[in-house]
Amino acid sequence: MPQRIGILGGAFDPPHNAHVAMAEAAIAQFGLDALRVIPTGDAWHKPRDLSSGAHRAEMARLAFAHLSKVSIDEIELLRQGPSYTIDTLRALQKQTPEAQFFLFIGEDQGKALGTWREIEEIAQRAIICVAEREMPGMSVPDVPNHDIPTQVLKLPHLPHSATQVRARVAQGQAIDNLVPEPVALYIQRHHLYLPDR
């Protein structure tokens, strides 16, 4: 059997409990041998500047430290210029050409797959798995507006977002129930997400 390797990319600015739940669900539901968590490099598609790659990679290490199958991969942080999923996938497949890759993305990304650079090649190189949060009273999932084959990653309903975490920190509010404890301590120690004085 080929090794089953998952890829979970994102800004992780900061990583929060929904990210951790996604990693745990991916490993369990798809029987992964390994999961590469990949902080975004040059996020050309983000409307704001991200925290430094060093901070985001270290927070990711803290957030996922309890999961033995997870490793933090800085491949995109080390790459010059805009970061595209297809480039990352090609590079990872050169490292382990016999592996079966699974690409895990959120619901919003899933609906926009048709706009991704070289999405057809991505779909050939990896099984694309779209996270679907179980919403109370929701019976019919949204149908993505593209023809790219995907599978569903079932997640508990966790309405956390990194935007929410950053806003709470800026307002001096607690984030203990939104992020893993080591991440909350790291944010506090390094004075991240505080408003400019």
Mapped onto helix, strand or coil, the DSSP state of residue 134 is coil
Confidence class for position 135, pLDDT limits 50, 70, 90: low
- Least confident window among 12-26, 50-64, 152-166: 152-166
pLDDT in tens, 59-72: 999 999 999 999 99
Name the amino acid, one letter, at 184.
Answer: A
3-state secondary structure 21-42: HHHHHHHHHHCCCEEEEEECCE
Name the amino acid, one letter, at 109.
Answer: Q
Q: Please check whether residue 153 is in contact with residue 7, taking contact to mean a CB–CB distance below 8 angstroms.
A: no
User: Which tokens is 62 given?
Assistant: 């803290």
pTM of the full structure: 0.90
Give pLDDT, residue 114. Answer: 87
